[in-house]
């Protein structure tokens, strides 16, 4: 299949997934057949994405350097090297074109075609008109979201991503099951029924501010594009992880895993000597047992740590000098994958020296993504830098791009979540 055919096939699968999600959004339950179809479509979409990545890599390898072509009747004609295709290249060029065009889409389209030499991006810009900014095409926003996966630990550990039609999605879930029992002859027995409630996801607006030097905007090339792309990805992924893990639902933020665990009593505190290997091992087992005793399906369990906790556990050694958890070198702890992030703090609780551990069946974690993503532009804006200082783009000769999207997080089954607190290691 060609690259265009792969993209069309991925979009086709995505539309079918949205259609099935819309059924649940309207309050209906999926049939077993529809549920299986949903899983199959998800798998096919992922496989097509992998094929697309390989196809783009192959196309990139095939691109040759520009060579002069002899022309007997005049000067040599030089063929301009085509733009490289690599994961995230087009979303980066899209943003750079908007910046170079200073928000004027016609100028942005011309820049993409003549300077960046990317006709796909030029075409995308030409149809990008949206309210309040340039609307990022679906295939570019999908590519961007896929690139977020390895950078956000909640996504990386296997959370399910679903579209939010019109910014909202309602998914029914079981909160209580039917109960079976025995009875004597002629003894009445009341019927026990299942109870339901809803997982309601509502897109919370996320803005990513990307300042870029005006001196770089007019320069094409992979290095410049990579700087821009890395800034967008890093800022977006870092803020999402903080929201999905620890935001509490106030100030228009998602209600993250910590708040959900606290509200549902899914919390286990560590108490003991952090130098005692047996106590630590028993505590980690207790977190796993919390899910198993709650009848969690344990389809895709995983750990979330601070870097401090991960390094401490990886360095533990028994009395013979052997590592207690050698499997951590392969990214697992007690048979389950782990990921680490500085969004899990180490300055909590007593003495401001405590941290947290998140253990969850990430198959039960649902990330809802708004269907629209926009990019705005300004050369006069002020913004807060990483240290919280107010910066003037005008005085620094910068352009500021603002990436706006929406997302939320929810949980199919609360039995698949436990929060470890008072972690002193």
417-423/267-269 β-pairing: parallel
- Among the listed residues 229, 216, 221, 219, the one whose alpha carbon sits nearest the alpha carbon of residue 84: 221
Residues 144-184 have pLDDT tens digits of: 988 998 889 999 999 999 999 888 888 876 555 555 666 66
Choose between 204 and 130: higher pLDDT: 204
**Domains annotated on the chain, with CATH:** 135-173+196-425 (3.90.1690)
CB 400 within 8 A of CB 377: yes
Choose between 86 and 247: higher pLDDT: 247
Q: Express as a percent the part of the chain with pLDDT over 90.
A: 43
76 confidence band (pLDDT: 50, 70, 90): very low
Residue 237 host element (H or E): helix 222-246
Distance between CA atoms of residues 314 and 250, nearest Å: 36
Output the pLDDT for position 72.
Answer: 44
CB atoms within 10 A of CB 46: 13
Residues 119-129 have a mean pLDDT of 87
Q: What is the DSSP string of 267-319?
A: EEE--S-TT-HHHHHHHHHHHHHHHHHTT---SSEEEEE-HHHHHHHHH-B-T
Reported pTM: 0.74
358 confidence band (pLDDT: 50, 70, 90): very high
- Point out the least confidently predicted range of 192-201, 252-261, 284-293, 343-352: 192-201
398-411/374-378 β-pairing: antiparallel
Q: Whose structure tokens read 């004609």?
A: 77
Check whether 58 has a pLDDT greater than 80: no
Residues 256-269 have a mean pLDDT of 96
222 confidence band (pLDDT: 50, 70, 90): confident
62 confidence band (pLDDT: 50, 70, 90): low
Residues 359-377 have a mean pLDDT of 92
Check whether 189 has a pLDDT greater than 70: no
List phi, psi (to 5°) of 266: -95, 65
Estimate the crossing angle of helix 138-148 against helix 3-25, to 10 degrees: 80
Average pLDDT for the chain: 85
357 confidence band (pLDDT: 50, 70, 90): very high
Check whether 411 has a pLDDT greater than 60: yes
Residues 54-63 have a mean pLDDT of 66
- Point out the least confidently predicted range of 62-71, 328-337, 398-407: 62-71
Output the pLDDT for position 331.
Answer: 96
Residues 26-49 have pLDDT tens digits of: 778 888 888 888 888 888 888 887
């Amino acid at each position: 299949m060609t690259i265009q055919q792969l993209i069309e096939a991925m979009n086709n699968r995505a539309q079918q997934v949205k259609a099935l999600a819309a059924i649940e959004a309207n309050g209906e339950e999926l049939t077993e057949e529809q549920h299986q179809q949903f899983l199959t479509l998800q798998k096919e979409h992922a496989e097509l994405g992998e094929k697309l990545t390989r196809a783009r890599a192959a196309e990139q390898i095939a691109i040759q350097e520009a060579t002069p072509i002899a022309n007997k009747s005049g000067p040599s004609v030089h063929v301009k090297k085509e733009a490289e295709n690599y994961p995230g290249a087009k979303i980066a060029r899209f943003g750079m074109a908007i910046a170079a065009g200073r928000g004027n889409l016609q100028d942005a389209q011309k820049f993409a075609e003549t300077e960046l030499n990317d006709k796909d991006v030029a075409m995308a810009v030409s149809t990008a008109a949206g309210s309040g900014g340039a609307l990022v095409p679906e295939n570019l926003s999908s590519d961007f979201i896929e690139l977020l996966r390895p950078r956000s630990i909640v996504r990386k550990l296997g959370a399910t991503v679903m579209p939010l039609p019109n910014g909202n999605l309602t998914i029914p879930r079981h909160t209580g099951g039917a109960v079976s029992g025995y009875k004597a002859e002629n003894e009445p027995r009341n019927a026990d029924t299942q109870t339901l409630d809803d997982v309601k996801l509502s897109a919370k607006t996320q803005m990513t501010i990307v300042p870029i030097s005006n001196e770089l905007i007019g320069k094409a090339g992979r290095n410049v594009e990579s700087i821009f792309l890395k800034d967008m990805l890093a800022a977006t992924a870092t803020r999402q992880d903080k929201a999905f893990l620890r935001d509490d639902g106030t100030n228009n933020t998602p209600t993250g895993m910590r708040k959900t665990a606290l509200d549902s009593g899914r919390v286990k505190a560590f108490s003991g000597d952090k130098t005692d290997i047996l106590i630590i091992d028993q505590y980690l087992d207790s977190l796993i047992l919390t899910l198993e005793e709650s009848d969690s399906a344990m389809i895709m369990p995983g750990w979330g740590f601070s870097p401090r906790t991960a390094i401490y556990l990886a360095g533990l050694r028994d009395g013979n000098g052997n590592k207690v958890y050698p499997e951590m070198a392969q990214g697992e702890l007690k048979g389950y994958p782990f990921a680490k992030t500085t969004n899990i703090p180490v300055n909590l609780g007593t003495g401001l020296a405590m941290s947290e551990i998140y253990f969850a069946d990430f198959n039960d974690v649902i990330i809802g993504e708004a269907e629209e993503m926009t990019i705005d532009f300004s050369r006069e804006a002020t913004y807060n830098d990483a240290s919280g200082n107010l910066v003037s783009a005008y005085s620094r000769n910068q352009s500021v791009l603002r990436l706006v999207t929406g997302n939320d997080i929810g949980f199919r089954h609360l039995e698949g979540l436990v929060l470890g607190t008072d972690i002193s290691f």
